[in-house]
Structure 1
Amino acid sequence: METHMKKIELNGLLFQYRETGRPSAPPLVALHALGLNAESWDEVASILGGKYRVLALDQRGHGGSVRTDEYSFELMRDDLFHFANAMDLEKFTLMGHSMGGTVSYLFSEAYPRRVERLVVEDTPPPFTGKFFEFPPEPSEPLPFDWKVVPSIIQQLNEPNPEWWDRLSEILTPTLLIGGGDASHVPQEKLLEVSKLIPNCQLITVDGAGHFVHLAKLDAFLNAVKPF
């Protein structure tokens, strides 16, 4: 399944995305983790592209997309809103991993009727009680804007309680995929999320760790395809 890399202007800023599948197929938008980019979805897209038009977006500060002065989950949520409108996606399936998963929760809370189905890989919304240290900036060049890291860590350390309070407003059928004990993400938090979203199921892929779709692609797809 061939993947095409494309550029698009969103709200005056230039973004890059990868498209796999027929333009007439039902749309699926995929959002990557912190420090990765849309290419991390290529193996998933090559399979799901048989049924879906998979649109994997480089989120701001990542891949071929714009570097900006400001980064936040809310800004990335708004980027997704502009992307969906620019691509004329009235309703679509949304899949997010880690940072992209949090953006997916926020988008689904704000625009519940735009999301056909929601798939979140190994992340709850940021929660209080867990503190992340600010790492030093690496000396070697990075494939993403380092400024994203302290901005996102700040939000992880001082999360907006509304992100959890509004989980019950996500009306769309939702699938959470956890990476089991091998993941640094507390799996009991995924269970909490699954109980707060009205129509939600949780599937754990034991031994996968945080990068489920990269570590255990077949198990990830076996969870996603029936859903």
Structure 2
Amino acid sequence: MPQLEVDGAALTYDDEGPRDSDAVPLVLIHGWTANRHRWDHQTAHFTETRRVIRLDLRGHGESSGAGARTIEALAEDVLALLDHLKVDRFVPVGHSMGGMIAQTIALAHPERVERMVLVNSIGRMTYSRGRGLLMGVSTLVPFKLFVAANIQRAFAPGYPREQVRAYIKASADTPREVVMTVYGAMRAFDVLDRVGEIRTPTLLVHGYHDIQLPVAQMLRMARAYPDAVVRIIDAGHELPVEKPVELTSALDRFLTHQDPKPQHG
């Protein structure tokens, strides 16, 4: 797999699909402790008609590097890769933390963002009492237990247990320093009061059963977006793998302008 050296990290990425397509390239950005393969279904679908770029963020998957201390640093990595590939305008599609990165890019470089898709993502992390307690003791419990507790609750009830266990193992293989440092970056992320500045058409697609980043928090954010379409899917936090067909269909409709304009008020 190709890699790009960026600020002490080797970023592994895929760059697939036709270069001569009129469609703006998609840039798929995964979430915390995940990797670019979260997007396998969407990649297989969209590379038939457009260029699709996806990467393992630093310290995740097949990319090396220490954990990023800010979401802005991760956004800079994504932009460095796109500059290397000579991609100017694009559509960022971000899942969870990847959506935080997408919003950061849209705020800093609106001229480069054609459209934007946020999957199970929000502008500010707020916590239930139970979530706050888990976070408070996160540095005290064994690392694998911390990861398992977070990943287990990311899936909606009824998702196959053996698949959940596989995702827990993959997440626990991410270096502890990366997991905890990036976790702190997510906790510090806050653009909720600025999302009204994002003028690009945006799709907010969320799992109804998401207890990591509850749908109510996304809807609070959606009210501030000037041009947003909202889709709620019967899934948990891991939409790209829980309901890949439904998510891909929602993306397809949005990217081909088949969604109606949102109604405000």
* Shared fold per TM-score greater than 0.5: yes
CA distance in 2, matches of 1:61, 1:71: 12
**Kindly tell me: are residues 183 and 19 of structure 1, through their superposed partners in 2, closer, same or farther at Cα, counting changes over 3 Å?**
farther
Which letter does structure 1 place at the counterpart of 2:236?
A: G
Gap runs ≥5 in structure 1: none
C-alpha distance 69-186 of structure 1, shift in aligned 2 (>3 A)? closer
In the alignment, what sits opposite 1:218? 245
How far apart are 1:136 and its partner, in Å?
2.9
Deviation at residue 149 of structure 1 after TM alignment: 2.3
- 1:88-140 Cα distance to aligned partner (Å, 9 max, x none): 11100110101111111111111111111111111102334553342532398
User: What TM-score results when the alignment is normalised by the length of structure 2?
Assistant: 0.76
Match of 2:201 among 173, 176, 180: 173
Tell me the equivalent position of 2:152. none
Question: Which whole-Å CA distance do the structure 1 matches of 2:120 and 2:198 have between them?
Answer: 18
Higher helix share: 2
How big is the shift at 1:12? 5.6
Moved more, 36-45 or 142-151: 142-151
On the 8 A contact 1:38/1:56 being kept in 2, the answer is: yes
Q: 1:69 to 1:43 in 2, by over 3 A?
A: closer
Out of 211, 214, 217, the residue aligned to residue 186 of structure 1 is 214
Q: Give 2:174's aligned residue.
A: 144
Structure 1 stretch displaced more, 123-132 or 34-43: 123-132
Matched, 1:204 2:232: yes
What residue is the counterpart of 1:13 in the other structure? 9
User: 1:203/1:19 Cα in 2 relative to 1: closer, same or farther (>3 Å)?
Assistant: same
Preserved contact between residue 36 and residue 61 of structure 2 (Cα < 8 Å): yes
Q: Within 1, Cα distance between the matches of 2:210 and 2:5? A: 39
Whole-Å Cα distance in 1 between the matches of residues 67 and 97 of structure 2? Answer: 18
The match for 2:184 is 154
Superposed displacement of residue 77, structure 1: 0.9
- Quick one: distance in 2 between partners of 1:61 and 1:72? 14
Aligned to 1:76: 74
What residue number does 2:42 align with?
44
Structure index of larger Rg = 2
CA distance in 2, matches of 1:20, 1:62: 20
Bigger relative contact order, structure 1 or 2 (CA pairs below 8 A, ≥6 apart): 2
Q: Which amino acid aligns with 1:149?
A: V
More strand by share: 1
> Structure 2 unaligned runs (5+)?
146-168, 255-265
Alpha-carbon distance between aligned partners in 2 of 1:204 and 1:56, rounded to the nearest angstrom: 24
Contact kept, 8 Å, 1:31 with 1:96, in 2: the verdict is yes
Q: Secondary structure at the match of 2:192?
A: helix
Residues in 2 aligned to 1:60 and 1:116: alpha-carbon distance in whole angstroms: 25
